[in-house]
Amino acid sequence: MFREEVKTIGGLRLHVIPTKKYKTNTLVLKMKAPLCERDVTMQALIPYVLQNATERHPSMKALRTYLDELYGATLQVDLAKKGENHIITIRMDVANEKFLGTTSPLLREALTLFSDILFRPLTEQGGFSVAIVEQEKRALKQKIQSLFDDKMRYAQHRLIEEMYKGSPYALDVHGKLSDIDTIDAKRLYKHYEHMLKHDEIDLYIVGDVALTDVEHDVVERFPLEARSLRSTETTTITKRTSVQEVIEKQHVKQGKLHLGYRTNTTYNDADYDALQVWNGIFGGFAHSKLFMNVREKASLAYYAASRIESHQGMMMVMAGIEPSNYERALEIIHAQAEAMRNGQFSDEEIIQTKAVIRNQLLETVDTARGMIEISYHNVIATRQRPLDEWLEAIEKVTYEDIVRIGEKIELDTIYFLTEKEGEKK
């Protein structure tokens, strides 16, 4: 398990996770903004602009050279959606000097740099640097376009787009291509200032440190005003009367079959644990029904799996198949879902699945990133649950609980990306 020390400092929630597992210290800042069409593109651009330059390190080369001097400290940003929240993540990772034979206080220097990136970005005339913003607009366009080139990710995105049409969850975390040209450096900076005032901001420090070691440094460097936190609204979606089927044709050799189900259950709900077990028996692992039946028995696919989106109440199934095997693969997938609904799974499958879920959670917290993700579930959700309680809840799930959760799971959309007819392989 892991221990977490949490302290609210103005508008910042500081989480320190002391551990001796690593040879580096990890700093992760998460900003949680509402996922909405108006702001999503600006929010997608901001972290990439921030990681370019600061007042003190006013170019990419200067900033990156400084990171090299801090024994190859890393700086990365990324974007995610958790339910209808848009999450911006900025990470730094810096060597622990005790393994280096140096006395430089690398963690403190990294915190200073982190603070510079957030509060003293390179600006001009009340906006971000125009040159940097233009350069990152170009890079963002390329990023959005490249989604099309990764067919597995593309199919997953298209499924969600069709399933949640018209609601914020359908948005790409990188924003909308058509909005990029409307953004200028001043408006972007204004939006960033707004985010710093209103968004929920969490800073995680993971490594061989305690809260008392870093608290003072954080107070000095992260001056964020206290704020009232917005509650996340969730768009209610009217139930579909029949399953929607979307078939898209492109020049591809393998068909990507993706199915979207509504689980009507999120991390917040008491029966979320039963959903996790349901998903595990159905398609989460290499012992699951999907893998055994679609791959091992029928030889139709190399991968056939299911996963749940914890904060959205969605489950998806994905399989890469020969285009001509569409009907057969669907039939087998439906049969597995039906078996689950009819309670056709053994005690052995339940025990096995629980053991693997438990193992997976315990392994997750062997990485700094994993510990942060587990803790951050509690920021997104309204319920607070430490890992040991989560593990206990999984153990307690019964056969009846699993059958009951199955009754809530509804197939919504079938998406199939397939070859153009008459093409030779």
Partner 1 sequence: MKIIRYDQLQEQLFYERLNNGLDVYILPKKEFNKTYATFTTKYGSVDNYFTPYGKTSMKKVPDGIAHFLEHKLFEKEDGDVFQIFSKQGASANAFTSFTRTAYLFSSTTNVEKNLETLLDFVQEPYFTEQTVEKEKGIIAQEIRMYDDNPDWRLYFGTIESMYHNHPVKIDIAGTVESISHITKDLLYECYATFYHPSNMLLFVTGPVDPLTILEQIRTNQAKKTFRSPTDIERFHHEEPSHVAREKHVIEMNVQTSKCLVGIKAKNVYTKGKEKLKHECAMGLLLDHLFGKSSSHYERLYQQGLIDETFMVDYTEESDFGFGLIGGDTLYPDQLAEEIQRILLQFDDIDDEQVERLKRKKIGTFLRSLNSLEYIANQFTRYAFDHVSLFDVVATLQSLTSNDLKVVARECFVQEQFTVCQVVPKKVK
By CB under 8 A, what part of segment 9-38 binds partner 1? Answer: 19-24
Interface with partner 1 (CB under 8 A), residue total: 74
Closest to 380 measured CA to CA, from 30, 118, 42, 18: 30
Closest to 262 measured CA to CA, from 300, 216, 215, 312: 312
Q: Is 69 in the site for partner 1 (CB under 8 A)?
A: yes
Q: Is 296 in the site for partner 1 (CB under 8 A)?
A: yes
Helix axis angle, 40-50 relative to 185-198, nearest 10°?
90
Q: Least separation, in Å, of the C-beta of 408 and partner 1?
A: 26
Q: Which one of 193, 220, 331, 366 is in contact with partner 1 (CB under 8 A)? A: 366
Nearer residue to partner 1 within complex by CB, 131 or 339: 131
Give the type of residue at 287: H
Q: Is 273 in the site for partner 1 (CB under 8 A)?
A: no
Q: Least separation, in Å, of the C-beta of 140 and partner 1?
A: 9
Nearer residue to partner 1 within complex by CB, 132 or 203: 132
Which x/- pattern over 113-132 shows residues binding partner 1 (rule: CB under 8 A)? ------------------x-
Q: Is 265 in the site for partner 1 (CB under 8 A)?
A: no
Q: Least separation, in Å, of the C-beta of 359 and partner 1?
A: 5
State the pairing for strand pair 244-250/410-419.
parallel
Residue numbers 165-224 binding partner 1 by CB under 8 A: none
52 vs 298: CA distance, rounded Å? 50
158 vs 153: CA distance, rounded Å? 9
407 vs 375: CA distance, rounded Å? 30
Q: Least separation, in Å, of the C-beta of 205 and partner 1?
A: 15
Q: Which one of 12, 188, 201, 321 is in contact with partner 1 (CB under 8 A)? A: 321
Q: Least separation, in Å, of the C-beta of 237 and partner 1?
A: 30
Q: In terms of DSSP H, where are the helices of 171-210?
A: 185-198
Q: Is 104 in the site for partner 1 (CB under 8 A)?
A: no
Give, for 18, the enclosing helix (H) or strand (E): strand 12-18
CB atoms within 10 A of CB 393: 16
- Among the candidate windows 30-38, 63-71, 210-218, 339-347, which touches partner 1 by CB under 8 A? 63-71
135 vs 146: CA distance, rounded Å? 17
Helix axis angle, 399-408 relative to 272-279, nearest 10°?
90
- Among the candidate windows 99-107, 110-118, 194-202, 216-224, which touches partner 1 by CB under 8 A? 99-107
Strands of 255-262's sheet, edge to edge? Answer: 244-250, 410-419, 255-262, 314-321, 301-309
Nearer residue to partner 1 within complex by CB, 250 or 344: 250
C-beta separation of 83 from 60 below 8 A = no
Please report, to the nearest 10 degrees, the dihedral formed by the alpha carbons of residues 172, 177, 182, 187 taken in order: 30
Backbone angle region of 214, left / alpha / beta, with phi > 0 → left and psi within -120 to 50 → alpha: alpha
C-beta separation of 46 from 174 below 8 A = no
State the pairing for strand pair 12-18/314-321.
unpaired
Nearer residue to partner 1 within complex by CB, 23 or 197: 23
Q: Least separation, in Å, of the C-beta of 377 and partner 1?
A: 18
Q: Least separation, in Å, of the C-beta of 234 and partner 1?
A: 32
Q: Which one of 342, 359, 382, 398 is in contact with partner 1 (CB under 8 A)? A: 359
Give, for 203, the enclosing helix (H) or strand (E): strand 200-207
Q: Is 324 in the site for partner 1 (CB under 8 A)?
A: no
Q: Is 302 in the site for partner 1 (CB under 8 A)?
A: yes
**Residue whose pair of structure tokens reads 């593990």 in the numeric block:** 391
Q: Give 386's Cβ-side CA count (13 Å radius).
A: 7
Q: Which one of 11, 47, 168, 320 is in contact with partner 1 (CB under 8 A)? A: 320
- Among the candidate windows 144-152, 213-221, 310-318, 372-380, which touches partner 1 by CB under 8 A? 144-152
Q: Is 239 in the site for partner 1 (CB under 8 A)?
A: no
Q: Least separation, in Å, of the C-beta of 46 and partner 1?
A: 15
Q: Least separation, in Å, of the C-beta of 264 and partner 1?
A: 28
Q: Is 251 in the site for partner 1 (CB under 8 A)?
A: yes
Q: Is 347 in the site for partner 1 (CB under 8 A)?
A: no
